Amino acid sequence: MSTLFQGDSLRTIAEVAFLVFFGMPAIYWAARWTRTGVSRRYTPQQGLVAGKVILYPGILLLLVTILSQLGFTLAPLLGAAGIVGIAIGFASQTSVSNIISGFFLIAERPFEVGDVIQVGTTVGRVLSIDTLSVKLRTFDNRFIRIPNETLVKSEVTTITRFPIRRIDLSIGVAYKEDIRRVRQILVEVAAENPRALMEPAPVVFFDSYGESSLDLRLAVWATKENFIALKTSLLEEVKERFDREGIEIPFPHRSLYAGEASAPFPIRIVESPREDPPNPEESAP
């Protein structure tokens, strides 16, 4: 510190002022330029990270240079920083873990800003992937912050990763129905809907003999943008078409048997003891 008050102190102050007033804007400009350039060429998320990679080391370097100019010896500072670093490290394990997890998320790119993801029971659109957490907006407009560490540890489904998705509709029909005819009708319903992709072609699977119905599955492909609209319209159209064709969608029902399936259910009529009508003469006053 004594150098500040010696003969060349004015020069030192001028150098520090120069570094502060020109160095800081230069670092910010370089970070912003890098961010814009990388965003244009790659993704906004990668641009954000590239900008931070320039900004934080740049500020650190500038700080070290200023301290050096002011006459601080860095060796004891670095030693102290090591000790402080250990203390902070113990105190901020979670934060550090989130920061490192954030780098994994950026490097692995399981999703990007704008993707729709599902984590546990939460589904939402990714607003940002930040140093400590990922921010989501759910479809009922709630803001959700998920720590990066949680995302690295959990199963994450990126719903909008691929351009097309398959819709599976479970459809039950009565046991009396002709499966071939039902299959044909379901394929026709899908083919008549312009949002349903013709290729990959719609398919009908016979899933199982259900408790009350023959269970079929109609698998139709749609673009991710049309997924919900197509699912809704197909459900409506299947019901309308089944009603028109007289195909029964059964309610759940249960058959009761007494003893064996082939024997009729036994019914016994129990007569109650007969009551004689009252004699009007006896009841007369």
Partner 1 sequence: MAPPRGDDALPPPWGFHPLDEGTVDSLRLGPRQIWFQRSGTEVLAAGVDGYKGGVDPRVDGDVGESTDGPPESGGWSRWATAGEDGEIFIRPAFPDRPLVLSPERPFRLLPRARARVFVRVPLWIHIELRSGRARGEGDEERAILLTSVPSVTMSDTWWGDVEEGELAYWLPTTARSKMAPELFAPHLAVCPLHLENEADIDLEVERIAFRVNHLTLFAKGSELWADESRVSYQGDEEASHIEMTGKPPVEAKGARLVAGPREPVLRGLRARTFARFRSFPGLGGGV
Chain residues binding partner 1 by CB under 8 A are 162-164, 166, 191, 193-203, 219-223, 226
Shortest Å distance, C-beta 20 to partner 1: 50
Torsion of the alpha carbons at 12, 13, 18 and 21, rounded to the nearest 10: 150
Nearer to partner 1, 135 or 161 (CB): 161
Count CA atoms closer than 13 A to 154's CA, side-chain side.
15
Nearer to partner 1, 175 or 206 (CB): 206
CB 124 within 8 A of CB 139: yes
Shortest Å distance, C-beta 209 to partner 1: 20
Nearer to partner 1, 32 or 195 (CB): 195
Nearer to partner 1, 152 or 203 (CB): 203
Shortest Å distance, C-beta 79 to partner 1: 53
Strands of 5-121 (E only): list them. Answer: 116-119
Nearer to partner 1, 38 or 197 (CB): 197
Nearer to partner 1, 49 or 238 (CB): 238
Alpha-carbon distance 268 to 142, whole Å?
63
CB 148 within 8 A of CB 163: no
Shortest Å distance, C-beta 116 to partner 1: 17
Shortest Å distance, C-beta 199 to partner 1: 5
Alpha-carbon distance 131 to 145, whole Å?
12
Shortest Å distance, C-beta 230 to partner 1: 9
Alpha-carbon distance 170 to 182, whole Å?
13
Which residues fall within 8 angstroms of residue 239, CB to CB, at 6 or more apart? 249
- Paired with 222 in beta bridges are 165
Core vs surface per residue 139-169: b (16+ CB within 10 A) or e: eeeeeeebbbbbbbeeebeebbeeeebebeb
- Other Cβ atoms closer than 10 A to 93: 10
Nearer to partner 1, 50 or 116 (CB): 116
Q: What are the tokens at 188?
A: 């026709």
Nearer to partner 1, 173 or 220 (CB): 220
Q: What are the tokens at 241?
A: 């078409």
Alpha-carbon distance 24 to 35, whole Å?
16
Shortest Å distance, C-beta 233 to partner 1: 12
Shortest Å distance, C-beta 219 to partner 1: 6
